[in-house]
Structure formats: C-alpha cells, structure tokens
C-alpha cells in the first residue's frame, strides 16, 4: 500500500480549501501543508496498526502484521501453523539429482546459502519446497515485524 498517494490527496484537498481565501490564507495553508505532511504518514501508520490489532481479535487463528517495505506498509496475514521442519543434515535426503548451473548462478546460490548459514543443498531444497507448496518465499532485505503503538 502506498501511503504517499493518500498524503498527496490530503495536500491537494488542503490546497483547494486554501484557494478559497485570500493570499495570506493561501500562504498560511502552504506552510501548514509542509508542516503536517510528515505527521500525516505516521498517523496513517497508526491507523493501520490499530486496524491490524482489531482484526487479530476477530481472527480464529493467525494474526495480521503491518510490515514496512521502505516507507510503504503492507498488511500481512501470518498463520499460527508451524512450518514443516526441514531435515537438519544433507545426509537425511535419499533422492539424488545432478544439476548443471551457470557459474554465476552457482555463485549466487552459494552466497544466499552462506547468508542463511546453511549448505547450498539445504538452501535449494528449502527453496524448492517453498515453491512446490505454494508458500510465499521469504523476502530478503531489512524488514521489521511485530506490533507498534503510537
């Protein structure tokens, strides 16, 4: 959800109201718009957080989280069902497959696996398991999860 479009719409509304007055009113409204702009985004996040908390009280299972991607929030449903545990060691797997990869892709896989602290085989098995079950792949990058109150 992009909050900026709501902030821009509010700015347009305030500008339209300010145009009804004289030049001093328009100038005061312009200064007010600049001052209020940052606060509006935070208040919209507060409203989304409150909505998520209200939804959580009504859900029979799982919960809704407000997650920020950059400056844009998204509401995400998180199931209470535990993830299926992955096998702890590569030796637990019984099927074998040979896969030829371009060197650049192999390097990327090794980097991703090292970042998660697992072997390349385990990383690939987890990625294939997620894609075959339709579970959303975890997003990389900096993400905060949890609840916030203002």
Q: Where are the domains of the chain?
A: 1-81, 84-141
| Distance, CA of 149 to CA of 52 (rounded, Å) | 11
Rounded (10°) angle between helices 23-58 and 4-18: 150
| Distance, CA of 147 to CA of 150 (rounded, Å) | 10
- The pLDDT tens digits of the residues spanning 95-128 come to 778 888 888 888 888 888 888 888 888 888 888 8
Q: Which two tokens stand for residue 146?
A: 């949890």
Inform me whether the pLDDT recorded for 93 exceeds 70: no
Among 132, 120, 145, 118, CA closest to 84: 132
| Distance, CA of 77 to CA of 64 (rounded, Å) | 4
Q: What pLDDT is stored for residue 85 in this prediction?
A: 58
Q: Which two tokens stand for residue 98?
A: 């040979």
Inform me whether the pLDDT recorded for 136 exceeds 60: no
Q: What pLDDT is stored for residue 134 in this prediction?
A: 65
């Amino acid at each position: 959800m992009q909050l900026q479009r709501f902030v821009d719409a509010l700015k347009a509304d305030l500008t339209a109201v300010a145009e009804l007055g004289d030049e001093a009113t328009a100038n005061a409204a312009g200064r007010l718009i600049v001052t209020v702009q940052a606060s509006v985004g935070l208040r919209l996040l507060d409203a989304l957080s409150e909505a998520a908390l209200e939804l959580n009280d009504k859900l029979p299972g799982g919960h809704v989280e407000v997650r920020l991607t950059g400056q844009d929030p998204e509401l995400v449903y998180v199931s209470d069902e535990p993830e299926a545990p992955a096998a702890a060691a590569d030796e637990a797997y019984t099927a074998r497959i040979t896969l030829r990869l371009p060197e650049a892709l192999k390097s990327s896989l090794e980097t991703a696996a090292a970042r998660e602290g697992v072997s390349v085989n385990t990383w690939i098995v987890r990625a294939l398991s997620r894609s075959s079950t339709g579970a959303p792949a975890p997003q990389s990058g900096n993400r905060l999860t949890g609840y916030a109150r203002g």
